[in-house]
Structure 1
Amino acid sequence: MAGPSSSARPADPGRAGEAGVKRRDVRAATRPFTRKARRFPRQARAERLAPYVLVAPAVLIIAALRLWPLALGVNFSFTGDGELNGTPVGPANYLELAGDPLFHISLRNVGLLVLLLPLAVAIPGLLATFIYLRVPGHRVYRSVYFFPAVLSPVIVGAIFNLMLGYDGPLNSLLGAIGAGPVDWLGDPGIAMFTVVGVHVWATFGMALVVFLAGFSTLDSSLLDAARVDGASLRQTIWHVIIPSLTRTIQFVFVTTMIGMLTSMFGLLFVMTSGGPEGATYLPEYYIWHQQGQMNRPALASAASTVLFVVMLVVGLLQITLLRRAGRQD
Structure 2
Amino acid sequence: MGIKHSRRALKEAIQGYLFLLPTLFVLLTFIVGPIFYALFLAFHKVQLLGGQGFDFIGLRNFSRITVDQRAHIAIWNTLKYVVIVVPIQTILAMVLAAVLNAGVKGQKFFRIIYFLPTLTSSAVLTLIFMWMFNQSGLINEMLSSIGLPTYNWLGDPRVALNAIMGMNIWSTAPFYMIIYLAALQDIPDSLYEAAELDGANAFKKFMSITVPSLKPVTSFVIIMGLIGTFQLFDQSYIFSAGSGGPNNSTLTVVLLIYQYAFKNIGTMGYAAALAMTLAVIIMIATWLQRKFAQEESLN
Q: Deviations over 1:187-234 (max 9, x none)?
A: 112211111111222222321222122223222221222233232222
Inter-CA distance 212–172: structure 2 relative to 1 (3 Å threshold): same
In structure 2, C-alpha distance between the alignment counterparts of 1:246 and 1:55, rounded to whole Å? 37
Higher relative contact order (CA 8 A, sep 6+): 2
Structure 2 counterpart of 1:110: 78
The 8 Å contact of residues 127 and 141 in structure 1, kept in 2 or not, is answered as no
Three-state SS of the structure 1 residue aligned to 2:56 is coil
Q: Determine if the alignment matches structure 1 residue 282 to structure 2 residue 282.
A: no
Amino acid at match of 1:310: I
The Cα offsets for residues 86-114 of structure 1, whole Å up to 9 and x where unpaired, read as 11001111122221111111110122123
Residue 323 (str. 1) matches residue 284 (str. 2): no
Q: Does residue 66 in structure 1 map to residue 31 in structure 2? A: yes
Counterpart of 2:92? 123
Structure 1 residue aligned with 2:132, among 154, 160, 163? 163
Q: Which residue of 1 aligns with 2:59?
A: 91
Contact kept in structure 1, 2:89 and 2:172, CA below 8 Å: no
TM-score w.r.t. the length of structure 2 is 0.84
The answer to whether structure 1 residue 221 and structure 2 residue 190 are counterparts is: yes
Task: Indicate which of 170, 173, 189 corresponds to 1:204.
Answer: 173
Q: Does 1:256 align with 2:221?
A: no
8 Å contact 2:260–2:271 — kept in the other structure?
yes
1:230-241 alignment, distance < 5 Å: 230-241=199-210
1:312 correspondence with 2:271: no
Report if aligned partners of 1:207, 1:256 keep a CA contact under 8 Å in 2: no
State the Cα distance separating 1:182 from its structure 2 match: 4.0
DSSP 3-state at the match of 2:262 = helix
Worse-superposed segment, 301-310 or 150-159: 150-159
Whether the 8 Å CA contact 1:80–1:86 is kept in 2: the answer is yes
> How many equivalent pairs are there?
288
Shift of 1:41: 6.2
1:109/1:281 contact within 8 Å kept: yes
Percent of pairs with identical residues: 23
Distance 2:68 2:148 in 1: 38
Q: Unpaired runs of 5+ in structure 2?
A: none
Larger-gyration structure (1/2): 1
Assess, with a 3 A threshold, how the Cα gap between structure 1 residues 167 and 127 changes in structure 2: closer, same or farther. Answer: same
2:269 counterpart of 1:301: no
User: Normalised by the size of structure 1, how large is the TM-score?
Assistant: 0.77
